[in-house]
Amino acid sequence: MSEVKEGELRAEPEGRRRASRRGVAVLVTVVAALVVLGAVAAVVGGLFAPPRQDGAGPAASPSASATRTTAAASPTPTKPVLARFDPAGPDTDNLALFGTALTKAAQSVPSQQVSAKTLTDALAAAGFGAGAMQRTADQTSANLQAPTLTVSVRLNGTCLVGQFVRQDASVSVELAAPISTGACLIGQTAPVG
Q: Are residues 107 and 33 in the same domain?
A: no
Which is more confidently placed, 189 or 61? 189
pLDDT band at 31 (very low <50, low <70, confident <90, very high): low
Mean pLDDT of 38-49: 49
How many domains is the chain partitioned into structurally? 2
Q: Which domain holds residue 133?
A: 57-176
- At 41 the three-state DSSP class reads helix
pTM above 0.85, yes or no: no
Is residue 156 a part of any domain in this protein?
Answer: yes
- Residues 144-172: tens digit of each pLDDT: 999 999 999 999 889 999 999 999 999 99
d(CA 70, CA 65): 17
Q: Are residues 122 and 163 in the same domain?
A: yes
pLDDT (0 to 100) of residue 137: 94
- Residues 66-118: tens digit of each pLDDT: 444 444 444 444 455 788 999 989 999 999 999 999 999 999 999 999 999 99
d(CA 34, CA 133): 41
Is residue 93 a part of any domain in this protein?
Answer: yes
Is residue 125 within 8 A of residue 136, CB to CB? The reply is no
pLDDT band at 14 (very low <50, low <70, confident <90, very high): low
